[in-house]
Structure 1
Amino acid sequence: MTNSTAARSSYLMRAGLVRNVRSGEHLTTFVVSGVATVLVTRLILSLSGYPQIGGKGLHIAHVLPGGLLMLIAISLLLGYVGPVVRPAAATVGGIGFGLFIDEVGKFVTSDNNYFYKPTAAIVYVVFVLIILGFRFLTTRRPIDPREELANVIDHAVEGVAGGLSRRRRAEASELLRAVPLQVQGRQETRDLLAACPADEVELAAPVDAGWQALQRGFERLATHPKAPRMAVAVLALQVVGALLIAIVVGDGLNHLPVLGVTAGSLLSAMFTVRGALALRKGNRARAVRLFELAVLVSLLMTQVFQFAATQFAAAGGMLLDLVMLGLLRAERDRMRREVESTTKAKVLRLPPDPDQPPFPEDPSDPV
């Protein structure tokens, strides 16, 4: 391990808190499951007339099965090693948390009012704070090569006991290729991964398959020739739509949440216009970044006040924001891969350095 690598060592890593390279996917699964559970629960209760489960003075609130599902998720994470169980735990935990947070109106009011009007805004803010807090903890410093190596070992732990399928082995090999050759323990990890027996029997992974299909769909849409113009049109329509919905449903312009929606919409509109101008000048990377800022302002500001003004009627705007953010992130990742591949090609054309390989990849790695 080089001195520069050792200098980047943080206290958290020395304390044993190593980050999961797929933590963003698991958090997204948790949040999507939680938000969907809140919306579906509200819809079912509304259609069924808000029935009460129990009788004779008893009422079994859905916060109780929510707590049970969160307990199951924690038990899965504590009881099993390896990466296989995490998508399922994130899904089950998200559903449980959604059932729990849906009853927040009962927790913050003296009369246990489930229909407390600010509930929608409180639920939305809680999920936003979860995302922001998690992103701060996981992105405040780049992933260290030793953390990437630890994630490869995490796959190998599963493979040593039960074997690895071709798909799991390919995932681990891809992570291993990103680890520089000089990182201590890389060779031993490669040997351990190669020693894992082949076994095509694995748990069904509908969550992983769903995210991969969604990512492929986002990439296809983001590379469509009309995607930039459609992005500008959708962002502009969303600004106008948010204002109209807030004014009509939210008691007019004298209502504080409506003023918040107005301010957020105007800020999003400013970023959208600047992005459109950058797109006309041929600066696609800057345009994508400005469009992302427009969507983030909508998610973190406009939608907060929208939920306060219109309650759960704002769910459509939130869903549209998430779709737009997914498309823009897919396009940004595609452009980043193009830059990296170009840089890699230039590096590989340089004369070989006898002391350092031109690209940190071991051709004998298992694939």
Structure 2
Amino acid sequence: MTTSAGERSSYLMRAGMVRNVRSGEHLTTFVVSGVATVLITRLLLSLSGYPQIGGKGLHIAHVLPGGLLMFVAISLLLGYVGPVVRPAAATIGGIGFGLFIDEVGKFVTSDNNYFYKPTAAIVYIVFVLIVLGFRFLTTRRPIDPREELANVIDHAVEGVAGGLSRRRRAEASELLGQVPREVSGRRETADLLAACPPDEVELAAPVDAAWQVAQRGFERLATHPKAPTVAVAVLAIQVVGELLIAAVLGDGLNTLPVLGVTAGSLLSATFTVRGALALRKANRARAVRLFELAVLVSLLMTQVFQFAATQFAAAGGMLLDLVMLGLLRAERDRMRRAVDDSTKAKTHRLPPEPDLPPFPEDPSDPV
């Protein structure tokens, strides 16, 4: 397979492995659902005295409903086309996987010990590896314009049969506006999208609505005038807090988990200080990147040892890291959009090239 310009497609695309442009959101939904399920399950079992469902020699472990929910998620993905079903499948699959992985202590011990102390660290590492592995597969090369076009066609496939609401049509049109005009099949896709009948009846999308609310909230907080100062203060307090929690709740200052927490905290502190210095020099982009590195070190290194030292008591630090990462990425995306808008404004002021059609002023214009 070749493009209109003669450029050869990647092997994965030729094999039919076309990436979903919203895969990052779906993975985050899966991971958040899974982690929340583990924490809520542990909390409810602790409050209820760890009851057992069954009796007379039987015990229905919650790994069984977890497997059932994962089966439901897979059935949704295999049984229906279009993007509308994926947020629900990611949520249901995440809950099922959370119920499954919560009982990992029973699977790695000879006495089926649900309270095996390293369980918290094992669960955390599994989710971290899922995120890292997925990011490696999806970000090692940029999204190809033909993949973006395939995602627009995915919307159209849903719309041909059941129609498209204004919201989903706008989402597809915006994505189509990012596809260069010279990509083969773009005009035909625009025609197909225009042929989809309007229909405001659609499957409820609470996950999409939650994503939009969270994104707007992160953007408002990230652009607050005091956001940089608060970010530095939170990161500094977190470093001190992680050291104190590991020392108090752990097994002592000379254990490997506590030493790992100490090393990770010092590395995070180094990035935080460098980020604060970049802020003083008015280099906001570099400061945001350094603060992101501080949070990532905490998530990928410090929290691993923190969970090993304190088990699920480290959940608060993990949630704080996730909130900080969301704020920093919202600010990074805002700055990138500002740069893109500035570049587009300069480009539009240039005379059009004689061999190319004019660029549409409205990104939602499908042609």
What displacement does 1:352 show? Answer: 1.4
Amino acid at match of 1:135: R
Q: How does 1:201-216 map to 2 (within 5 A)?
A: 201-216=201-216
Q: C-alpha separation between the residues in 1 aligned to 2:155 and 2:250?
A: 51
> Residue 229 of structure 1 corresponds to which residue in structure 2?
229
Does structure 1 conserve the Cα–Cα contact (< 8 Å) formed by 2:76 and 2:85? yes
Q: How does 1:76-87 map to 2 (within 5 A)?
A: 76-87=76-87
CA-based RMSD of the aligned residues comes to 1.3
Change (3 A) 1:21 1:364: closer
Amino acid at match of 1:3: A
Does structure 2 conserve the Cα–Cα contact (< 8 Å) formed by 1:120 and 1:312? yes
Does structure 2 conserve the Cα–Cα contact (< 8 Å) formed by 1:180 and 1:360? no
> Residue 17 of structure 1 corresponds to which residue in structure 2?
17
User: What SS does the aligned partner of 2:83 have?
Assistant: coil
Change (3 A) 1:140 1:261: same
> Residue 153 of structure 2 corresponds to which residue in structure 1?
153
> Residue 262 of structure 1 corresponds to which residue in structure 2?
262
Q: How does 1:227-306 map to 2 (within 5 A)?
A: 227-306=227-306
User: What SS does the aligned partner of 1:254 have?
Assistant: coil
Does structure 1 conserve the Cα–Cα contact (< 8 Å) formed by 2:267 and 2:297? yes
User: What SS does the aligned partner of 1:84 have?
Assistant: helix
Does structure 2 conserve the Cα–Cα contact (< 8 Å) formed by 1:298 and 1:321? yes
Q: C-alpha separation between the residues in 2 aligned to 1:300 and 1:26?
A: 20
Change (3 A) 1:204 1:41: same
What displacement does 1:252 show? Answer: 1.9
Amino acid at match of 1:25: E
What displacement does 1:150 show? Answer: 0.2
Percent identity, please: 88
Q: C-alpha separation between the residues in 2 aligned to 1:358 and 1:135?
A: 36
User: What SS does the aligned partner of 1:181 have?
Assistant: coil
Structure 2 residues not aligned, in runs of 5+: none
Which of structure 1's runs of 4+ aligned residues deviate more than 6 A?
360-364
Does structure 2 conserve the Cα–Cα contact (< 8 Å) formed by 1:352 and 1:358? yes
Of 3, 11, 18, 2:5 maps to: 3
Does structure 1 conserve the Cα–Cα contact (< 8 Å) formed by 2:64 and 2:100? yes
What displacement does 1:356 show? Answer: 2.2
Amino acid at match of 2:347: V
Does structure 2 conserve the Cα–Cα contact (< 8 Å) formed by 1:38 and 1:98? yes
> Residue 140 of structure 2 corresponds to which residue in structure 1?
140
Q: C-alpha separation between the residues in 2 aligned to 1:120 and 1:363?
A: 46
Amino acid at match of 1:210: A
> Residue 174 of structure 2 corresponds to which residue in structure 1?
174
What displacement does 1:365 show? Answer: 3.0
The TM-score normalised by the length of structure 1 is 0.98
Q: C-alpha separation between the residues in 1 aligned to 2:362 and 2:308?
A: 55
What displacement does 1:357 show? Answer: 4.2
> Residue 341 of structure 1 corresponds to which residue in structure 2?
341
What displacement does 1:358 show? Answer: 5.8
Does structure 1 conserve the Cα–Cα contact (< 8 Å) formed by 2:176 and 2:366? no
Q: C-alpha separation between the residues in 1 aligned to 2:296 and 2:364?
A: 43
Q: C-alpha separation between the residues in 2 aligned to 1:252 and 1:285?
A: 39
Q: C-alpha separation between the residues in 1 aligned to 2:4 and 2:190?
A: 19
Count of aligned positions: 365
Q: C-alpha separation between the residues in 2 aligned to 1:362 and 1:328?
A: 29
Q: C-alpha separation between the residues in 2 aligned to 1:366 and 1:176?
A: 6
Change (3 A) 1:71 1:361: farther
Change (3 A) 1:279 1:347: same
Change (3 A) 1:108 1:364: closer
User: What SS does the aligned partner of 1:3 have?
Assistant: coil
Q: C-alpha separation between the residues in 1 aligned to 2:366 and 2:21?
A: 20
Measured against aligned partners, the alpha-carbon deviations of 1:256-314 in whole angstroms (never above 9, x if no partner) come to 10000000000000000000000000000000000000000000000000000000000
Q: How does 1:184-203 map to 2 (within 5 A)?
A: 184-203=184-203
Measured against aligned partners, the alpha-carbon deviations of 1:39-65 in whole angstroms (never above 9, x if no partner) come to 000000000000010011110000000
Does structure 1 conserve the Cα–Cα contact (< 8 Å) formed by 2:173 and 2:364? no
The TM-score normalised by the length of structure 2 is 0.98
Mapped pair 1:312 → 2:312: yes
Amino acid at match of 2:212: Q
> Residue 328 of structure 2 corresponds to which residue in structure 1?
328
Amino acid at match of 2:92: V
Change (3 A) 1:238 1:251: same
